Structure 1
Amino acid sequence: MSSEHPQKETHHQQHDKSSVPDNYVTHTLKQHPPLPPFQWRNWRTEITWIPLVLLVSTPLIAAIGACYTPLRWQTALFSVFYYYVTGMGITAGYHRQWSHRSYTAALPLQYALAMAGAGACQGSIKWWSRNHRAHHRYTDTPLDPYNATDGFYHSHIGWLLVKPRIKPGFADIQDLSKDEVVRWQLRWYLTLTLVMGFALPTAVPWLAWGDAQGGYVYAAVMRLVFVHHSTFCVNSLAHWLGAASFDDKHSPRDHLLTALVSIGEGYHNFHHQFPADYRNAIHWYQYDPTKWFIAACEALGLAHQLRRFGENEVRKGAWSMKVKEMRREQEGLVWPSASEELPVVGWEEFQEQARTPARTLVLVAGFIHDLAPFLDAHPGGRALLATMAGKDATTAFFGGIYDHSNAAHNLLAMHRVAVLHGGCAHAADEKFVPPAQRLRIVCHDE
């Protein structure tokens, strides 16, 4: 769907240890400044015509053709089936086999996936995988060919229609250059695209149940429109809709809707964190037919060396995001004053202040609390609290009269007004720290 981009620089040239920049993206942009923004006055030379013609003509042909072509049930079923065949050519083939080497397909399966991928009309394996590896390496930067930070339209389809303003960042594709299947597909790509993308899906309904026109409109053209935008959603929708389940450093997100429209590629946050894993969805209930297909091929002896990222690291990523969410929730809560923020008073001063009619000062675990605002709300009655004014109620609070709940301990701490000189409990004592505060999340530098 686009011309090949020869990889002129070598891996060693790009990674000369004697001149490694502090930031490769910034360094590259200084060395190769972006082209000027797209201008309509130069549209004839700025547009990439092959993708434009293909991506504009197919929806028009499908829409007009559907108005004049009855949809037979056999053709409908075959169109859906062929959508999955060519879609798997991209997801199981281009993406998980060649871009990420997340598993090793047997040679017959590799040829089948290469042909199916050609039927999706999205460029050769080499071109597609080179861009995708750059996307992973430079996610959300100008060197990402379908940079999501440039907007939904750009990442979905815009990057294909206009010549790139910045050359995609370096990605090592030496393995693809040596791959016999990749080389074979590249050599026969145009023929494979025409046969697998248009001739075969037209011929099967024609020869099997006499519906050549329906085969062309629905199984060839309309199916191709769905395959295109199904795949494009992984670059756009999957960076916009959903949750950052494993990391929030970059834009990829996990969402069932994206998985449904992309043959299982919608758990994109997981994928960007663990790209070498043959799965996108790690739970049995998550929709990932590409994962199921690869697993079935393994059972049939057509795939092996299925790579799974370590369970401990996967769980660590999920745990980190849960902790971040709890930290954000924690920051919205009001916490009791720390001991160093409170005045320190002696016993005599405590006694004197406790005799003030407007205050009901009670000592618990070394902290002086003013319980006057809580007298009428106390479940045990205000009289009980009043009798403890000016006294050490630590034993009474922790079981002597009533073994108070965690909620009561948390609430009590919110009424702290001072620290008794020499009377503060040891910080390790559970009576000193309210239950909720014991679980409070702190950063490593706090």
Structure 2
Amino acid sequence: MPPQGAERDSFVLFESDAKDPDVITHMAPQAEKRQTQIVWRNVAIFTYLHLGFLYGAYLMLTTVMWKTRLFCLILYVCSGLGITAGAHRLWAHKSYKAKLPLRIILTLFNTLAFQDAVVDWARDHRMHHKYSETDADPHNATRGFFFSHVGWLLVRKHPQIKAKGHTIDMSDLRADPVLRFQKKYYMYLMPLICFIMPSVVPALWGETVWNGYFTCAVFRYVAVLNGTWLVNSWAHLWGDKPYDRHINPVETKVVSVAAIGEGFHNYHHTFPWDYKAAELGNYTFNITKFFIDTMATIGWAYDLKTVSTDVIQKRITRTGDGSHPVWGWGDKNIPEEDKKVTTVINPEKEE
């Protein structure tokens, strides 16, 4: 169970919301069969970007200066934090609070990432949690890897997304003056911060603007996009489910590396209010946690929400798939008779 008042205070949306009558009407094991409408403009844009990504990768391996490579890596991490520490953990889930300087920094990082303004990103993500794997989920993984990875951005949205969008309370984010400023001037700020600045800054140490554009702007931007998309696709399809075997999200360290800490997805969908988005705090696979902890040390982040070990253990033994390294079925401290009882999913089918 979430901490008392967490659902009200943190605007967290839980998988259990799917039990609500309003949601269950649209729940289905597979996506509705309907003719998709391709948005060819988006297809052209993403095709260009991914071709630019390949060319940028070539430049990264051949001609660009080491300072440019380092700058590109720094921008990758900053862009990622704008999504993970900002739009996701701070604003979509309210898993911690941030003082004004940190909110401004994360808003700049988020604009650098160019995945829509925070208010829009958080709305879609709250939709994803409340209506997970239904037609009202923007990147419904039951429609396959390609759709949940990028295809959802290449077609018209399902009518259920628009129908249910108004049910998501966004008043908390719209009340933030920093986010209102970003939303109002997004189409001016985004090109400047995401593409122009990364292209021009490398010229300070003698790099060409051409190289800066295709590496620090396009290559970096598309790499961060795909890192984020892997959370929607891979982390909903292939991996273990140590916390809740009844939902699609899984645990995958590969995605955690690409998305700087967002691959522990079975845990996150089970306990979405935890600022770590993972049970453990291994900085190797969770750079975002390191960043938030650092901000907490200097007082810019506070009220970090976590889940007690006792609650996690009880949830694992009740709904996990047995893959947990400590409390899974491989734990020698669990008696054999308890394993037999716990692993029975459909007792009525047992002989």
Contact 2:281 2:289 in 1 (8 A): no
Counterpart mapping for 1:145-164 below 5 A:
145-164=138-157
Aligned residue number for residue 287 of structure 1:
285
Aligned residue number for residue 193 of structure 2:
196
Contact 2:242 2:322 in 1 (8 A): no
Q: CA shift at 1:309, angstroms?
A: 2.0
Q: CA shift at 1:165, angstroms?
A: 2.2
Q: CA shift at 1:296, angstroms?
A: 0.4
1:114 matched to 2:112? The reply is: no
CA offsets 1:321-368 (integer angstroms, 9 cap, x no match) = 567679x98xxxxxxxxxxxxxxxxxxxxxxxxxxxxxxxxxxxxxxx
Pair 240,439 (structure 1): closer, same or farther in 2 beyond 3 Å: closer
CA offsets 1:365-396 (integer angstroms, 9 cap, x no match) = xxxxxxxxxxxxxxxxxxxxxxxxxxxxxxxx
CA offsets 1:12-42 (integer angstroms, 9 cap, x no match) = xxxxxxxxx963235469xxxx895125xxx
Aligned residue number for residue 119 of structure 2:
126
Deviates more, 1:295-304 or 1:162-171: 162-171
1:47 matched to 2:39? The reply is: yes
Aligned residue number for residue 52 of structure 2:
61
1:441 matched to 2:344? The reply is: no
Contact 1:37 1:165 in 2 (8 A): no
Q: CA shift at 1:72, angstroms?
A: 1.4
Q: Give, in whole Å, the separation in 1 of the partners of 2:338 and 2:234.
A: 40
* Structure 2 unmatched ranges of 5 or more: 1-18, 330-334
Amino acid in the other structure paired with 1:441: V
Q: Which of 293, 304, 318 is matched with 1:306 structurally?
A: 304
Q: CA shift at 1:62, angstroms?
A: 3.2
Task: Calculate the aligned-residue CA RMSD, in Å.
Answer: 3.0
1:103 matched to 2:96? The reply is: yes
CA offsets 1:185-209 (integer angstroms, 9 cap, x no match) = 1011112211111111112111233
Pair 26,318 (structure 1): closer, same or farther in 2 beyond 3 Å: closer
Q: Give, in whole Å, the separation in 2 of the partners of 1:438 and 1:269.
A: 23
**Which structure has the larger Rg?**
1
CA offsets 1:52-96 (integer angstroms, 9 cap, x no match) = 344222122233456577121111111011100111101111101
3-state DSSP of counterpart to 1:119: helix
Q: Give, in whole Å, the separation in 1 of the partners of 2:92 and 2:336.
A: 47
CA offsets 1:120-145 (integer angstroms, 9 cap, x no match) = 11111111110100100111112111
Counterpart mapping for 1:3-18 below 5 A:
none
Amino acid in the other structure paired with 1:25: V
Pair 307,73 (structure 1): closer, same or farther in 2 beyond 3 Å: same
Aligned residue number for residue 234 of structure 1:
231
3-state DSSP of counterpart to 2:160: coil
Q: TM-score, normalised by structure 1?
A: 0.64
Q: Number of residues paired by the alignment?
A: 312
Pair 179,284 (structure 1): closer, same or farther in 2 beyond 3 Å: closer
Q: CA shift at 1:157, angstroms?
A: 0.7
Q: CA shift at 1:318, angstroms?
A: 2.3
Q: Percent identity?
A: 34
In terms of fraction of residues, the more helix-rich structure is 2
Aligned residue number for residue 186 of structure 1:
183
Q: Give, in whole Å, the separation in 2 of the partners of 1:322 and 1:22.
A: 23
Amino acid in the other structure paired with 1:234: V
Q: Give, in whole Å, the separation in 2 of the partners of 1:438 and 1:133.
A: 37
Pair 323,155 (structure 1): closer, same or farther in 2 beyond 3 Å: closer
Pair 320,57 (structure 1): closer, same or farther in 2 beyond 3 Å: same
Contact 2:230 2:255 in 1 (8 A): yes
3-state DSSP of counterpart to 2:241: coil
Q: Give, in whole Å, the separation in 2 of the partners of 1:213 and 1:152.
A: 34
Q: TM-score, normalised by structure 2?
A: 0.80
